[in-house]
Copies of this chain bind each other. A is one copy, B any other.
Amino acid sequence: MKLYDSTIPSGNSYKVHLLLSHLGIAYDVEDLDILANPSQTREPKFLAKNPNGRIPVLELDDGTCLAESNAILYYLADGTPYLPSDRLSRAQTLQWLFFEQYSHEPYIAVLKFWTYWGGLENLSAEMRTRVTTRGQAALDVMGEHLAERSFFVGEGYTIADIALFGYTQSAAAVGFTVPASVERWLTRVRQQPGHVAIKKDPLGKAP
């Protein structure tokens, strides 16, 4: 299979790299330089892979393409210990995956982007207040949930943890206050067998 990623490190693509590493699956990578050429993902060739024109996209060996990082995680984890098999636990895993994409990523990932690559001076005061306030609220929700739990769903490490780790690992560096329970969870995630770090920024802007 082949993963379409961006040249600069994307937390959404990283989630997929991380799960593939845990699973020991070999795959190819094609990096698109979306900073230099933002329209690259809006060209017909790429839109045939993802009509929404975004990375990551996972191309399976038969040419079928899957988009949306958390849908890709679900596909890859299905039938493995990284996705619970009972109906309720699966739904609870999805609850956290949707939380991540609706209440977390749009604020923490966006502040990360503008901090390192977009230039904070290009973010309006209104948007900056919005992303800092809402991103902090998401981290606080995580902190409460993890206060008496080791992982997000059940007793073990799942794709809910992988998805939330993607951008939470960068939250402190871009100015958020990370609750102590979340810091401890970040450490637990890094200790999982097969863990890999997010790739280096080739532009040297992200730490």
Contact = CB atoms under 8 A, between A and B. Distances in A.
Interface string A76-115: 0011000000011011101101110111011000000000
A67 B51 contact: no
Contacts of A99: 52, 67-68
A106 B104 CA distance: 13
B70 A94 contact: yes
A2 interface: no
A189 interface: no
Interface in A149-207: none
A158 to B, nearest CB: 14
Nearest to A66: B91
Interface residues of A, dominant DSSP: helix
Contacts of A87: 75, 78-79
A106 B102 contact: yes
A103 B145 contact: no
Contacts of A90: 74-75, 78
A64 interface: yes
Which of A74, A79, A126, A145 is most buried by chain B, counting CB atoms within 10 A of its CB? A74
Contacts of A51: 141, 144-145
A105 B77 CA distance: 26
Interface in A18-72: 47, 51-53, 60, 64, 66-72
Interface of A: 47, 51-53, 60, 64, 66-72, 74-75, 78-79, 87-88, 90-92, 94-95, 97-99, 101-103, 105-106, 124, 126-127, 141, 144-145
